[in-house]
Amino acid sequence: MEIGELLLNPPEPARPSITRGDQTINSLELVEAVARTRRWLTDRLGTLNGMVTSLESDFSPLSVATLLALIAEDAIIVPIAPASRPSREHFLRTAGVQTRIVIEPQAPISGAPTLIPASELPIEDHPLIAIVQRDGGPGLVLFTSGTTGVPKGAVHRLAPLLGKFSRRRKSFTTIGLLLFDHWGGLNTLFHTLSNGGHFISLVDRDPEYVASLVERHRAQLLPASPTFLRMMMVQGAHRRHDLSSLEVVSYGAEPMPEQTLKLLARELPSARLQQTYGLIEVGVLRSRSESDDSLWVEIGGEGIEVRVRDDMLEIRSPSTMLGYLNAPTPITADGWFRTGDRVDQRGRFFRILGRDSDLINVGGEKVFPAEVESVISEMANIADVVVSGSPNPLTGSIVVATVAVVEPENAADLRARVRKYCASRLERYKIPVKVSMVELDLLAGVRMKKVRRFLSTDNS
């Protein structure tokens, strides 16, 4: 693939392109690093066309240069982020990785990757990989989080995913908060580079640190999850740092609580709040929020079709994956991808209610965790809340709320307060039967597992 399709061409040497910590390279240095890395890889591996290659790193100047080099050489890339290391062996075996490329994120742009040859790995062939190899061009394998089962490997021809970046759009200085091995993070990177923007890679994803980077670099675009944005608001990081440079705050990966959206609109008045919709299996679609404080979103884009069947969103797109390496396909015979997301529809706009696999069945009644979470988050002294189901011999499941508070509070008083407030806003079967209180840091860990699941359909 011609790498100029992913970079602003011709490059502007004076403009920063990627920053991580104290290391910043401009666009011309990135182009030179891509060429140098291509030569280094082909000298050692020969042709990379169709070679299944893992790229184990986080966003950094050298890892991005290596990613672009692999794309230019038409390799089939399996990105693996540091957070995915516990599943690394499963990823390698399932994808049939032939060569591992390992890069320490702090490595300088002048450095070289570490290669681990195929002889150390058990290889499993797969017909979907063979399709990409036969058709030529780069490929991509992305894995779901596996929080509801074994992680599934989605196989893509990469060119259809990259096609939308050929159209030039506004250039932003962008915070790279999303993950290296999910399409949300890669989409952010390619959008930034293809428009001549400045991509800020993170050495930490703590809200305080991220807010400090927004202030330091006068960042204009912050893609994030609702959980991260709420934590930033609760911790007050947005007040300790100047975030007035933010023009767009985009959010996705999980349902946005209405109260959190209203809080963001009030606390970040100069930023446009933009809901996004994307999945590992289809990529990130063009989207337009009805308004800054609305959860209704229009989804589509050139060549994209959307429809609702049995209250479930389905998508037909040129960028839909070929299928899973290790699970049945959720794609219909005529090309519609069943997302697993339940939605309401109002004309061209949709409201994402939640993942079908997350529904809590209470005596035959369906409960969306996001709805209950949104109500509880309206309450005073609530820092965050995660709602889930727990087995029950009489009703099948009961609703359970795990809550973190801003200021210390008696647990019994909190339980009574939550149940009373929910009773005023929700049907009886939606009221949490159990309410437990944990520290915010512990709840954030639970929440991040849900966020990773929402980055893919993961309905195993």
Q: Where in the chain is the domain with CATH 3.40.50.12780?
A: 3-162
Q: What is the DSSP letter of 256?
A: P
Mean per-residue pLDDT of the chain: 88
C-alpha separations of 296 from 37, 44, 95, 274, 396 in Å: 44, 51, 37, 10, 32
Which whole number is the average pLDDT over 189-218? 94
pLDDT at residue 459 is higher than 70: no
Determine how β-strand 248-251 pairs with β-strand 23-26: unpaired
Which whole number is the average pLDDT over 108-132? 80
**359-454 belongs to CATH 3.40.50.2300:** no
Q: What is the pLDDT of residue 53?
A: 96
CATH superfamily, domain at 3-162 = ANL, N-terminal domain (3.40.50.12780)
pLDDT at residue 447 is higher than 90: no
| Tens digit of each residue's pLDDT (9 = 90 or more) over 33-56 | 999 999 999 999 999 999 999 999
pLDDT at residue 226 is higher than 90: no
Q: What is the DSSP letter of 311?
A: T
What is the rounded distance in angstroms from the CA atom of residue 235 to the CA atom of residue 232? 5
Q: Quick one: residue 146, left, alpha or beta (phi over 0 = left, psi -120 to 50 = alpha)? A: left
Which whole number is the average pLDDT over 205-228? 94
What is the rounded distance in angstroms from the CA atom of residue 123 to the CA atom of residue 48? 17
Q: Where in the chain is the domain with CATH 3.30.300.30?
A: 359-454
C-alpha separations of 82 from 66, 120, 226, 452 in Å: 17, 21, 22, 14
CB atoms within 10 A of CB 100: 21
What is the rounded distance in angstroms from the CA atom of residue 11 to the CA atom of residue 427? 58
Q: How would residue 118 be classed by pLDDT, with cut points 50, 70 and 90?
A: low
SS3 content of the chain, % helix, strand, coil (to 5): 35, 30, 35
What is the rounded distance in angstroms from the CA atom of residue 304 to the CA atom of residue 286? 9
pLDDT at residue 432 is higher than 80: yes
Contact 406, 394 (CB under 8 A): no
| Tens digit of each residue's pLDDT (9 = 90 or more) over 388-413 | 899 988 888 999 999 988 889 999 99
The fraction of the chain above a pLDDT of 70, given in percent, is 91
Q: What is the pLDDT of residue 446?
A: 62
Q: How would residue 169 be classed by pLDDT, with cut points 50, 70 and 90?
A: confident
Both structure tokens of 89: 């062996």
Q: What is the pTM of this model?
A: 0.87
Whole-angstrom distance between the N-terminal and C-terminal Cα of the chain? 34
Contact 344, 353 (CB under 8 A): yes
Both structure tokens of 255: 């349902």
C-alpha separations of 430 from 78, 221, 365 in Å: 41, 37, 9
What is the rounded distance in angstroms from the CA atom of residue 328 to the CA atom of residue 331? 9
Residue 144's identity, in one-letter code, is: T
Both structure tokens of 446: 């639970």
| Tens digit of each residue's pLDDT (9 = 90 or more) over 317-352 | 999 999 999 999 999 999 999 998 999 999 999 998
